[in-house]
Every structure is written in C-alpha cells, then in structure tokens.
Amino acid sequence: MTHLCVSLTGSTPAELSDIIRELPPSATAVELRIDHLHSPLQSSTEALKAILNATDRTVIATNRPARAGGKFQGDEKKRLNTLREAAETGADYIDVEMDSSARLGRIPGNTGRIVSCHDFQKTPEKLFSIYRDLKEAGADVAKIAVRSRTINDTGAIFNLMERCTTTDLIAIGMGEKGICTRVLAPKFDTFMTFASAKHDAAAAPGQVPCKQMDELYHFSSINPATRIYGVVANPVAHSMSPAIHNAAFTRTNLNAVYLPFKVDNVESFFEVFEHRDLRGLSVTIPHKQTMLSLMDEVDELSRTVGALNTVDIRNGRRLGSNTDAAAALQALQQAADEAEIQLEQSHILIVGAGGAGRTLAHVLADKSRLLSIANRTVERAETLAGETGGSAYGLDQLNSLDPDVLINTTPVGMHPDVDRIPVPPDILRPGMVVFDAIYNPIQTRLMREAEEAGCVIASGFDWFVSQAAAQFQTWTDRDAPRELMANVVRDELSGQK
Ligand code: NAP
C-alpha cells in the first residue's frame, strides 16, 4: 500500500491538531514540518506530541533547512537535534537530507530514516545512482523529489519507480507537469506520496490538496492494475474533464484514473505513457490538429474537421475520433427534429470562426442548403467559408440574413458577461433553431431571448456533457452515467462563479 502523506504546515500544535481532524481516511500518514512551526526549536516536541495524540497515522518528522527548500534557518546542530528528539518522542520516521544523514548519526528507538534529495530546478540524470547513494547514506526509505520540467523528466521518474524496490522509495516530480507522479504512486507501489492539507498550504510545488487526491482522483482505489486516462492540453489546470471522467469511472466501478497532462510534445507523451496502461485521452488546445498525424486510425468526422478530441488506445493502436463534432451534430439534429425542419434543407448561420465555429462549419458543410459564417474578423470568416463552400459576412450584416438555424460560437454572453448577446435579438423568429455553444452559464441571454421568441433551443451545456459521455463510451464500451456527468459539470460551473 502506498501511503498518502499530508504535509502539516501549521504553525502551532493546536492548529496541527485541527488540521488532522479534517483529514480524510485515505491520508494514512502525516508529516510534521517542524520548520513551519512558529518556534521550531522550542515547540517541535510539543507539536509532535499533539500529533501523536490526535492520530494513529504513520507520523514523519521533517525539519527542512532553507537550502533544501524548507524554512529552517538556524544552527545545523540544533536542527538535527530536533530530529533526534522527534525519534525519542515516537515519530515513526524522521526525514533527513542526504548531506546531513551522516552528521545525524544513529537515531534512537525504532524510528525509520527517510533520506531525501531535492532538486527544485530540474530532474537530474542518473536518478538510480542517486537512489543508491541515498541507500548508502543509511536510508530505510529513499526520497527523491525533483522538478519535472518536461514529459521526459516525468518519464525518468517513472523509470526509476520501475527499476527500484519501490517499497523503500518515494519519487516525486515537482511542479504541474509532475502531478501524475504523485497521483500514480500507488500504481508503481512506492512507499509514499505527499499531499497538502489545503489548497494554499502546499509544502512543495505541484503538491495536490489531499481532498482532491481523495475526492477527485480516488487515490486509495489506485493500484498497479489501474488504467490511465487523461486530457492532454496546455494549459490544463482549469479543465473540468478530470472531475467528470473520474466521477464516471468511480460510478461504474472501473479501475481507472483520469489525469490532467500539461503536454508540450505529444510524441514524447506517448513514449512515456503508452506502455504504462494508457488507454484513452481527451485532446484539446493546442494538440487537436497535430494529434491527427500520430493516429493509426482516424474517424471520418475528425478527417472532415481536421482535428480530433478523443484517442482510444486498443491493442496498442491509437484510434482518433471527434466526439465534439459528433455531439454537436447530435444536439443540433435533436433540435431540428423538434422544430420539424430538415438540416439539409436549411440555411445555417454560424456566428464565430474560431475553434468551435470551424468544427461546426466543417461538419455542416454538406448537411445544409446554405451555410453562412459571420465573424468579427471578416477575413477569418472568409477563410472558413472558402474551406466549406459557405458565404462570409461581418457581424454588421447579421440583420440582412434570415437563417433557419442560428449557431453562436463566440464567447459573447459567457460568464461573467452574461448580459451580452452575440446577435441582434430581432433576427430571432418562431420555429428557428438556436444553438449556443456557451455552457457557462447553462442558459445564456441568447437562449432566453430565443425561447421567448418561440425558437427551439440546443444548448452548449448539453453539447459539452454529450461529448464527454461519448468519450466515456468510446473508451469503455459502456453506457456513460450521463446524469452524473451533467451534475459534475453543474457543480464545477457553480464553483467557478
Ligand atoms: P476561439 O477559438 O477563441 O474563437 C472565438 C470566436 O469568437 C472567434 O471567431 C472570435 O472572433 C469571436 N469573438 C471573440 N470575442 C468576440 C466578441 N467580443 N465579439 C464578437 N466575436 C467575438 O474560441 P472557441 O474555442 O471557438 O470557443 C468559443 C465559445 O464556444 C466559447 O464560449 C467556448 O466555451 C464555447 N465552446 C463550447 C463547447 C461545448 O462543448 N459546449 C465546445 C467548444 C467551444 P475573431 O476571429 O474576430 O477573434
């Protein structure tokens, strides 16, 4: 079992006890960061006693000096003495830096020794020889925490995890790109990984709050057989996909985890993950187009649109598809059926010529009688119209168009500017299909006014949930728990407000 250890960066014994009371059961260890206490030399024993009284968890005592990324700035002998005292008081482990381990000498009692090596700038070469040096320096457990700057750095950390006796190893890639090394520690069966008590209390870059480890990634369910899924993007921090898909995997009892991967180089990403149980990916900006050339097979919609958003990995083959385009088409088709119009007989107006506009224009090029594309920057509308056989307009010409189907793909009306509307309201008429790509808010001003004008609505929220549900189905061959996924999106959106 891999311990999930919460770094306790509270400054008083009382504060530490309060933090411990809030921890989820999946946090099986805590680390007293003596260097974060108000008066480390005076109160470390008192703080450790408070922790030992408050919990049965495995307890580590660490007093990290400033040179190793900690806060302790005093005398080295006194610093090491706090670790000896921690052992005497009953800490299960003390953590000492490699260059101080010899000076610390023998430690009393049965307390184990974690010997650690940090590099906040880079992932050094030859991680395995660092591991051997740590063992030679007396480590019961060797801890290597290094900055993961690229996917190859992350790969080097996984290589180390695979090469070592992992039960005496803690290996962490610090920073956003290393988050997967923290979450996937139980897949490699390493001794421990670290989480913060709260969002604003990370003791190291990239440390994930323990609530997130527990509720988002279901850390205690991850094991060597867990399949890996994720979203490759850059940036990736605000993606809702991990929340949606992890909830769906848990609801359907699948042994799978979904991670955010901040990726610069997709080819290197595949090299690192493909032989490590990677089963599926969501793909978003900026990789939707470049991913196409890396697939073994690509579905027709992706080829039509020139971009994909889903990769399914089966028997070592990469299968690319575009659930974005498929779900948009489905949402539109449903609304058209309700309005009793045939898309193929309709004049479709797309407002916006960015990513969403492009997807819809390409999908609808041969599914409409007349395709109009209006955009703030007319040249972009012209380019897209040229590619799709449509006609291009500026936004000032909207009043002259009389579409059967109106699709907004601009962010006008999106949170927080929810009072804005992307088209003049008087172009809305009864029976028209109006599709707003925006999903935050769930009901936009355009949708409200269109409903009042007697239009039939297709919503960006349904589009968003449907493309995620279709990804789940693609990867798992199971029906997606759509209602649950919709609720997760609603919760995430209300959290953003
Ligand atoms: P994008 O690539 O940045 O394109 C934005 C488009 O909107 C461009 O055509 C841009 O015109 C236009 N635009 C931006 N600000 C404008 C303004 N103030 N007035 C008029 N036009 C403006 O963005 P995207 O990825 O296509 O996304 C657009 C919207 O669709 C977002 O709200 C996004 O959340 C939503 N979306 C929803 C889903 C879903 O699943 N529901 C999927 C994809 C996108 P210029 O060319 O002149 O810059």
The residue whose two tokens read 């012209």 is: 382
Which atom belonging to ligand 1 lies closest to the Cα atom of 324?
Answer: 40
Which atom belonging to ligand 1 lies closest to the Cα atom of 377?
Answer: 47
Got the DSSP string for 209-238? EHHHHHHTT-GGG--TT-EEEEEEESS-TT
Distance 412 CA to ligand 1 centre (A): 8
Distance 353 CA to ligand 1 centre (A): 7
- Protein residue closest via CA to atom 27 of ligand 1: 356
> ∠ at Cα 217 (216, 222), nearest 5°?
155
**409, 423, 440, 467: which to mutate for ligand 1, most atoms within 8 A of CB?**
409
Distance 19 CA to ligand 1 centre (A): 43
**Tokens found for residue 65:** 């000096």
The whole-number pLDDT of residue 272 equals 97
- Protein residue closest via CA to atom 5 of ligand 1: 354
Is-cis flag, bond preceding 416, omega within 30?
A: yes
Q: What lines the ligand 1 site, CB under 6 Å?
A: 352-357, 375-377, 380, 409-412, 414, 437-439, 460, 463-464, 467
Print pLDDT tens along the chain (497 aa): 999 999 998 899 999 999 999 999 999 999 999 999 999 988 999 999 999 999 999 999 999 999 998 999 999 999 999 999 999 999 999 999 999 999 999 998 899 999 999 999 999 999 999 999 999 999 999 999 999 999 999 999 999 999 987 789 999 999 999 999 999 999 999 999 999 998 777 777 889 999 999 999 999 999 999 999 999 999 998 899 999 999 999 999 999 999 999 999 999 999 999 999 999 999 999 999 999 999 999 999 999 999 999 999 999 999 999 999 999 999 999 999 999 999 999 999 999 999 999 999 999 999 999 999 999 999 999 999 999 999 999 999 999 999 999 999 999 999 999 999 999 999 999 999 999 999 999 999 999 999 999 999 999 999 999 999 999 999 999 999 999 999 999 999 998 75
**287, 289, 376: which to mutate for ligand 1, most atoms within 8 A of CB?**
376
Residues β-bridged to residue 456: 433
- 86 backbone dihedrals φ, ψ, rounded to 5°: -65, -40
Which atom belonging to ligand 1 lies closest to the Cα atom of 395?
Answer: 20
- Protein residue closest via CA to atom 14 of ligand 1: 410
Q: Catalytic site residues?
A: 118, 143, 288, 324
- Protein residue closest via CA to atom 3 of ligand 1: 354
Distance 454 CA to ligand 1 centre (A): 25
Distance 90 CA to ligand 1 centre (A): 59
| Separation CA 287–CA 263 (nearest Å) | 9
**231, 330, 410: which to mutate for ligand 1, most atoms within 8 A of CB?**
410
- Protein residue closest via CA to atom 43 of ligand 1: 356
Which atom belonging to ligand 1 lies closest to the Cα atom of 467?
Answer: 40
Distance 484 CA to ligand 1 centre (A): 27
Q: pTM for the complete prediction?
A: 0.93
Which atom belonging to ligand 1 lies closest to the Cα atom of 420?
Answer: 18
The whole-number pLDDT of residue 171 equals 97
| Separation CA 167–CA 2 (nearest Å) | 8
- Closest Cα to residue 2, out of 204, 220, 226? 220
| Separation CA 139–CA 131 (nearest Å) | 9
For the chain, give the longest Cα–Cα distance: 85
Which atom belonging to ligand 1 lies closest to the Cα atom of 414?
Answer: 32
Distance 438 CA to ligand 1 centre (A): 9
| Separation CA 481–CA 144 (nearest Å) | 39
Distance 440 CA to ligand 1 centre (A): 13
- Protein residue closest via CA to atom 25 of ligand 1: 355
